Amino acid sequence: MGEQEVPTGRGKRRIGVMGGTFDPIHHGHLVAASEVAAQFHLDEVIFVPTGQPWQKSHKHVSPAEDRYLMTVIATASNPQFSVSRSDIDRSGPTYTIDTLRDLRAIHGDADLFFITGADALSQILTWRDADELFSLSHFIGVTRPGHVLADPGLPEGGVSLVEVPALAISSTDCRERVAQGEPVWYLVPDGVVRYIDKRQLYRGE
Ligand SMILES: Nc1ncnc2c1ncn2[C@@H]1O[C@H](COP(=O)(O)OP(=O)(O)OP(=O)(O)O)[C@@H](O)[C@H]1O
Ligand SMILES: O=C(O)c1ccc[n+]([C@@H]2O[C@H](COP(=O)([O-])O)[C@@H](O)[C@H]2O)c1
């Protein structure tokens, strides 16, 4: 495991921000957050489920409350992990610029590190107010099987590229497996398997 040098204020709290639709949250998300927390000496990682992910508006997305609760269940046992309702409680489409402004308002002068997989990172210049994003947070792009990890042209020093253990898991695949009656044990945390079953998520998709 590498140790990462990143620009930061001395003595400031270091907070990772893991945004995602988490429909459902899976071990790929959790391993990415855990690995970045270790490599970047983060004090905590806040998972932020999206409210209305506008770039997924053509797809069916499960109710925000279900995605929030699955994220809480998945992260509950790790004292470094917490979950924010910021995006699901804000009305309208979810933009990371708003997420980061909300977190900055709450966490004062902490250093923020927004974690994205290689696929999300490659799209980042299409995000709302992309130019301003990089003044609010450092960005960390992580490897993801099937995707090329590269700096998509962010301002100098705005992004770090990090290798994390490869888990070829996607939420899409998990949903399809449930719909077809196939197991998702060990792809998602046990409590999330139980929650999907209890709420009958993804059955008719
Ligand atoms: N297996 C994985 N390894 C590394 N990063 C991942 C992995 N799966 C998702 N991510 C990253 O986690 C963040 C949230 O992802 P998201 O909730 O959209 O999951 P997903 O599996 O990509 O979902 P879907 O298949 O529905 O698009 C994104 O930055 C994404 O790139
Ligand atoms: O800000 C934007 O315009 C924007 C566009 C697409 C995705 N994002 C964020 O990227 C993160 C991963 O998104 P997704 O759709 O891959 O689950 C999540 O925090 C989203 O809010 C943000």
pLDDT tens for each residue of 159-174: 999 999 999 999 999 9
Quote the CA–CA distance of 149 and 137 in Å, as a whole number. Answer: 19
Q: For domain 12-166, say whether CATH 3.40.50.620 is its number.
A: yes
Tell me the best of 26, 29, 52, 114 to mutate to test the pocket of ligand 1, counting ligand atoms within 8 Å of each CB and taking the most. Answer: 29
- Ligand 1 atom with the smallest distance to the CA of 173 is 25
DSSP 134-177: HHH-EEEEE--TTS-----SPPTTSEEEE--------HHHHHHH
Return the pLDDT at 9: 63
What's the pLDDT at 1?
Answer: 47
pLDDT at 60 over 50: yes
The whole-model pTM stands at 0.96
C-alpha triplet 75, 81, 87: angle, nearest 5°: 85
User: What pLDDT digit, counting tens, does each position of 1-33 carry?
Assistant: 455 666 566 789 999 999 999 999 999 999 999
Q: Is residue 122 lining ligand 2, measured as CB closer than 6 Å?
A: no
Tokens read off for 102: 């909300």
Give the C-alpha separation, 176 to 24, whole Å.
Answer: 11
Render pLDDT for 78-113 as a digit per residue (tens, 0 to 9): 999 999 999 999 999 999 999 999 999 999 889 999
Residues in the chain: 205
What pLDDT does 4 receive?
67
Cβ–ligand 2 contact at 95 (below 6 Å): yes
Residue 56 is predicted with a pLDDT of 87
